[in-house]
């Protein structure tokens, strides 16, 4: 059997190098609208986790909000006025399905992003905001809202079960069977 | 469900899983002969496709594992079959992960192997169809329960922040145990009628 194992192992090693698995079975989609974040968790191939724990953390690892998903796997929360860095939302079904989504600091709170130092903006809203900056913030928020369905669609397409992948899995197994039988017949 | 993703388990658990999986795969590969290679391939391909059909259950989504059946038909060769299946699922669909491949293989294959080793002789020897069906149902339910227990154990041993909650585990694994029991009983009863030899890993 050893002779047949070696090519399989080599093949597996090559595949492992070429394709780092990054997606998980559970996925999280999140979108920002002004200072409120909403989204949902979903299973690739169908289904939403109901009543699962979710937690949102900022870039420093501090908890912003937490709760449990509703019947549709949804969650929503308000951002603090000045979110520090990226916000990561993690959903844990408490039975080994864990997934998270990260909203980059750039897409978060367009109003805050328009001003380089977010701290003073939170302290004195409106002060020092030029018309240009406010316009830029409005445009950024509108673009974010307008592209949300697209982002959602991309996320879904990204994690679809593809027929071609299923077929290649089946044929890879058939190939392994062939290699095994061939190697055994060679040795006789 | 049984696919634990990367970055959740601690290194000792990953290493322990990999060692047990390697031992199981080595044991299984020695068993693979001209009769068992095609059977392992057919079962691996069938379960690979079957396990892509997920049914949403409460907070999770479950799919059939059929490891009890595989253990009954393949013996220790269930380990390489499950390993190939999990490798393909990780590479093609991103289910589970590559670092957790060993742990997941053990979690899925080991209960099926043990349950089939315990119940297999009685199932094969049984002349009574009803008794055989009941034993096969028990085989399916036990292997699923074993997988659930091992998944919970892997997470608990890693002492991560992702500890499983018993209530959720029961809510997801109990319906699966029932479904698995029915499917395993149906397949075993059918095979016992048309091809009893298929229920034996080693040629008689």
Contact list, B48 vs chain A (CB under 8 Å)? 169-170, 173
ipTM exceeds 0.85:
no
Contact B194, B151 (CB under 8 A): no
- Please answer yes or no on whether A174 and B88 come within 8 Å at the CB atom: no
Of the candidates A23, A15, A132, A65, the residue with the CA atom closest to the CA atom of residue B7: A23
Contact list, A43 vs chain B (CB under 8 Å)? 54, 56, 60-61
Mean predicted confidence (pLDDT) in B108-130: 91
Decide the pairing of beta strands B60-62 and A36-43.
unpaired
CA distances for B129 relative to A85, B115, B120, B141, B184, angstroms: 65, 19, 15, 18, 14
- Please answer yes or no on whether B91 and A15 come within 8 Å at the CB atom: yes
Would you say residue A33 has pLDDT above 70?
A: yes
The overall average pLDDT reported for chain A is 73
User: What pTM was estimated for this model as a whole?
Assistant: 0.74
Chain A segment 120-149 residues within 8 A of B by beta carbon are none
Q: Which of A98, A174, A180 sits opposite B162 (nearest CB)?
A: A98
Over residues B10-38, the pLDDT tens digits come to 888 899 999 999 999 999 998 888 889 99
Would you say residue A11 has pLDDT above 70?
A: no
Domains assigned to chain A: 24-158 (2.60.40.10)
Chain A segment 144-173 residues within 8 A of B by beta carbon are 159, 161, 165-166, 168-170, 172-173
Spell out where chain A has E strands. Answer: 26-33, 36-43, 53-57, 63-68, 74-78, 87-92, 98-103
Higher local confidence (pLDDT), A117 or A184: A184
Domains assigned to chain B: 11-199 (1.10.1760.20)
Question: Confidence band (pLDDT; 50, 70, 90) for A129?
Answer: low
Residue of B nearest to A47 (CA): B56
Over residues B133-177, the pLDDT tens digits come to 999 999 999 999 999 889 888 888 886 666 777 777 777 888 889
Contact list, B83 vs chain A (CB under 8 Å)? none
CB-based contacts of B50, cutoff 8 Å, min separation 6: B63, B64, B66
Question: Confidence band (pLDDT; 50, 70, 90) for A114?
Answer: very low
Higher local confidence (pLDDT), B99 or A112: B99
Give the per-residue pLDDT at A4. 47
Best of B60, B147, B160 to disrupt the A interface (most A CBs within 10 Å) is B60
């Amino acid at each position: 059997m050893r002779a047949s194992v070696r090519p399989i192992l080599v093949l597996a090693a090559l595949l492992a190098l070429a394709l780092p698995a990054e997606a998980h079975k559970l996925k999280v989609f999140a979108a920002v609208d002004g200072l409120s974040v909403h989204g949902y968790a979903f299973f690739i191939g169908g289904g939403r986790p109901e009543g699962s724990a979710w937690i949102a953390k900022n870039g420093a690892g501090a908890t912003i909000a937490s709760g449990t998903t509703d019947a549709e796997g949804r969650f929503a929360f308000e951002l603090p006025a000045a979110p520090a860095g990226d916000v990561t939302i993690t959903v844990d079904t408490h039975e080994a399905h864990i997934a998270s989504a990260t909203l980059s600091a750039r897409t978060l709170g367009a109003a805050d992003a328009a001003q380089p130092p977010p701290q003073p903006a939170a302290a004195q809203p409106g002060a020092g905001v030029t018309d240009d900056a406010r316009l830029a913030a409005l445009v950024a928020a509108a673009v974010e809202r307008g592209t949300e369905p697209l982002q959602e669609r991309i996320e879904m397409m990204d994690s679809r079960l593809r027929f071609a992948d299923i077929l290649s899995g089946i044929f890879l197994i058939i190939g392994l069977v062939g290699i095994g039988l061939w190697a055994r017949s060679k040795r006789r | 469900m049984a696919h634990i993703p990367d970055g959740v388990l601690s290194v000792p658990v990953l290493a322990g899983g990999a060692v047990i999986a390697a031992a199981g795969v080595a044991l299984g590969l020695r068993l693979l002969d001209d009769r068992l290679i095609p059977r392992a391939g057919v079962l691996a391909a069938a379960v690979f496709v079957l396990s892509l059909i997920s049914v949403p259950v409460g907070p999770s989504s479950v799919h059939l594992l059929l490891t009890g059946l595989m253990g009954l038909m393949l013996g220790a060769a269930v380990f390489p079959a499950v390993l190939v299946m999990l490798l393909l699922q990780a590479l093609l669909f991103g289910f589970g992960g590559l670092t957790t491949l060993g742990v997941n293989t053990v979690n899925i294959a080991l209960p099926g192997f043990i349950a089939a080793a315990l119940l297999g002789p009685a199932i094969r020897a049984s002349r009574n169809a009803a008794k055989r069906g009941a034993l096969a149902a028990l085989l399916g339910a036990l292997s699923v329960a074993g997988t659930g227990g091992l998944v919970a154990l892997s997470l608990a041993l890693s002492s991560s922040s992702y500890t499983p909650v018993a209530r959720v585990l029961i809510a997801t694994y109990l319906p699966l145990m029932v479904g698995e029991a029915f499917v395993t009983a149906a397949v075993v009863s059918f095979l016992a009628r048309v091809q009893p030899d298929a229920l034996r890993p080693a040629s008689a």
